Amino acid sequence: MNTHLDEHQITAAVAGLELEPEAEEHLVSCLSCRQRVAAFKDLIDARGEQMAAEMPDWDRQQAEILLQLPKSLTGRPAKTRRWTRALFAAAAAVLVAVGLEFMWSPAPMGEPVVELEVPIEQILAEVDAALADDSLPGFESIDPGVDDPKSYFENGAS
């Protein structure tokens, strides 16, 4: 590359951006182009030095910072603490919601309550009558080998 760098290439060199290999090569060998780059860099450096003159006393600043630090830090990372807090908050909210639901909800919806068509007294009377009647035909047919259930119980039990 024999020609000098153009304005954009000089700008890129000042900014510290990548140059094409040919341009880079030229910059290394060309004093004129290097001076153009350096002129603006020097100006920026001068501005940086101007600001450096305003810098505070670092030891004093460090001492002041250390004085402002809180006495202690909790060992666990703050992020974990935040997650834990959020988790507890969510769990508490769920518990409260479940409790409220339990307190205010109507009777369980599981099985519908069926109105009895026959009064309960009548049912009980029928059951009592059935129990009082000991001539239940069903028993005889269950065990046809035993003719007299009474004798069965007497023999078998003793």
Partner 1 sequence: MVMLQAAVMDFSRSDAPPDDDALVLRARNGDRDAFGELVNRHQRRVWMVCRQYVGVDEADAAAQDSLVKAFTRIGDFDRRAAFSTWLTRIAINTCLDGLRKQRREGVIADNCEDQERAGVLAQVPDGQAGPETRFQQRQAVDNLRDREQELPPKQREIFRLRFYAEMELEEIAQILDIHVGTVKTQLHRAVHRLRGELGAYR
Contact footprint for partner 1 (CB under 8 A): 7-8, 10-12, 14-17, 36, 39-40, 43-44, 46-51, 53-56, 58, 61-62, 64-66, 68-70, 72-81
Two tokens, residue 117: 């068509």
Q: Rank residues 62 and 151 by Cβ distance to partner 1 and give the closer one.
A: 62
Which among 141, 90, 115 has a CA at the least distance from the CA of 149?
141
Helix axes 31-52, 7-15, angle to 10 degrees: 40
CB contact at 8 A, 19 and 12: yes
Q: Rank residues 14 and 30 by Cβ distance to partner 1 and give the closer one.
A: 14
Q: What is the CA radius of gyration of the chain?
A: 50
Two tokens, residue 141: 């047919």
CB contact at 8 A, 49 and 22: no
Q: Rank residues 43 and 92 by Cβ distance to partner 1 and give the closer one.
A: 43
Q: Rank residues 80 and 151 by Cβ distance to partner 1 and give the closer one.
A: 80
Nearest distance, CB of residue 20 and partner 1, angstroms: 14
Virtual torsion, Cα 81, 84, 86, 88, nearest 10 deg: -140
